[in-house]
Amino acid sequence: MATWNSRGLRGSALEDYINHTNEQYLHKGLALIQKIPTPITPVRIDKEHRHITLAYFDQRSTVDYIGVVQGIPVCFDAKECRAATFPLQNVHSHQIEFMKQFERQGGIAFLLIYYTERNILYYMRYEEIQNFWDRMQHGGRKSIRFEELSPEFFLELKCGCIVPYLDTIQKDLDKRP
């Protein structure tokens, strides 16, 4: 079972950018997106500083963020990747299943992947992640090469910390039947 301190602060820079972006979107009345906390059970607490130093995850998380954009339900997960390939082990089957069910209910599900070495973001539509997932399940690659990604879904941080995913949600909507 995973513990809190075994995963470090992986993904925290991207999550900080997204949290800041979500505050801006809320302030402008464009979207209401909330970070979903992962329930934990504290095991070790530093009483002097009142910090949890070791904890176990109570249950599997679904996605990092959920909310609504102009009346459309949205959920997504934030991932960071240093290399030019994104390992599918960074996405879990219960997350894929949650996104699948979310889409079936009329929502939009996606991943935001931050390629830290390139300082670029990628908006991966649910349909795209499902195709890569299926490929892996059928004995194919267990990672996604940077070159396999659609150029139209790359994003750049605006002002160094704004993740402009609303623009890309519109592109996603335009591609749906």
**Lookup result for tokens 């991966």:** 124
What does the alpha-carbon distance between residue 120 and residue 146 come to, in Å, rounded to a whole number? 11
Residue spans of the domains in the chain: they are 15-36+62-175
95 annotated as belonging to a binding site for a ligand = yes
> Can you list the alpha helix ranges (DSSP code H) found in 35-117?
93-104
Q: Which of 32-46, 91-105, 157-171 has the lowest mean pLDDT?
A: 32-46
Please report the pLDDT score of residue 37 as a whole number: 79
Q: Element (H or E) spanning 25, and its range?
A: helix 12-27
Task: Give CATH for domain 15-36+62-175.
Answer: 3.40.1350.10
pTM of the model: 0.83
The mean pLDDT value of the chain amounts to 87
User: What number is the average pLDDT over the span 160-176?
Assistant: 89
3-state secondary structure 120-167: EEEEEEHHHHHHHHHHHHCCCCCEEEHHHCCHHHEECCECCCECCHHH
Percent of the residues in the chain that have a pLDDT greater than 70, as a whole number: 86
pLDDT digits (tens, 9 = 90+) for 37-94: 776 676 778 888 777 777 665 556 689 999 999 999 999 999 999 899 999 999 999 9
> Which is nearest to 18 in space by CA: 36, 39, 3?
36
What does the alpha-carbon distance between residue 89 and residue 143 come to, in Å, rounded to a whole number? 8
77 annotated as belonging to a binding site for a ligand = yes
